[in-house]
Amino acid sequence: MNVLDSFRLEGKAAFVTGAGRGIGKALALALAEAGADVACVDIDPATAAQTAEAIGALGRRARAIACDVTQRPAVDAMVERVAAKFGRLDIAVNNAGVCVNAPAVDYTDDAWRRIIDLNLTAVFYGSRAAGRVMLRQGRGGRIINTASMSAQIVNRPQPQCAYNASKAAVIQLSRSLAAEWAPKGITVNTISPGYTGTELTLALKEYHEHWKRDTPMGRLATPEELKGAVVFLASPAAAFVTGHDLVIDGGFTCW
């Protein structure tokens, strides 16, 4: 196979959570541009529909699915629905996540649970449901979970202990699933963005100069700069890559 052809995703079916905006939207568009049909999953039906419409305009099959991925029965139903609509499921991207900044001593139980429920438990729900379908299909699959450079470093100046813990756990969860499902041809990898300009971070303008100073490339990423990573991990080009964390951080973790 020509190396460029090994990045193509025609005939594959995917879902992306948190696809309504920001990084998830860019990842969903990337998979579609590479040829995949994509279900755009978000708690916000309006933004999910906008991303699905953009994918439809690319000539791919697209579905907008409203789903709160912290609700296990809803995730199981969503994944089965994607597989039924497209007739298959090849690629699962568990991306929805949230951050709450607060000193550890002021962290409320609710904030802690909200972060762990969405950033970690929902990633397990989505991976497990996708793994069940992929094992049933018997032709392998690709699971890509959004972690963060915060799995490795402690961000500054803002304190965000629950977020950092949740993202480190996403990497170790993904490595565990990768080892368990490797014999069945299902790869499980993570992408770890550095600071990326989305609604999650653009609201925190007071930190931007600090973040840029901490980043060797001296700027935030755009969501579009993460597109190549998800296509690579979803594609035949990454057939032997599993349990890997692909860091895309402009050099942040070098310092």
Residue 94 to residue 191: CA distance in whole angstroms: 10
SS3 call for 64 = strand
Q: Provide, rounded to whole angstroms, the least separation between the CB of residue 100 and ligand NAD.
A: 11
Q: For residue 137, which of 84, 100, 174, 74 has the smallest C-alpha distance?
A: 84
User: Of the listed pieces 77-85, 90-98, 131-139, 178-186, which binds ligand NAD according to CB under 6 A?
Assistant: 90-98
Residue 126 binds to ligand NAD (criterion: CB under 6 A): no
SS3 call for 117 = helix
Residue 24 binds to ligand NAD (criterion: CB under 6 A): yes
**Near ligand NAD by CB under 6 A: residue from 50, 121, 127, 148:** 148
Q: Which residues of 204-213 are buried (b: 16+ CB within 10 A; e: fewer)?
A: eeebeeebee
Residue 161 binds to ligand NAD (criterion: CB under 6 A): no
Main-chain dihedrals φ then ψ at residue 76, nearest 5 degrees: -60, -45
SS3 call for 165 = helix
User: Of the listed pieces 106-114, 195-203, 227-235, 239-247, which binds ligand NAD according to CB under 6 A?
Assistant: 195-203
**Near ligand NAD by CB under 6 A: residue from 13, 15, 16, 17:** 17
Point out which residues bind ligand NAD (CB under 6 A).
17-18, 20-24, 42-44, 47, 67-70, 95-98, 118, 146, 148, 193, 195-196, 198-201
Residues acting as catalytic residues: 163
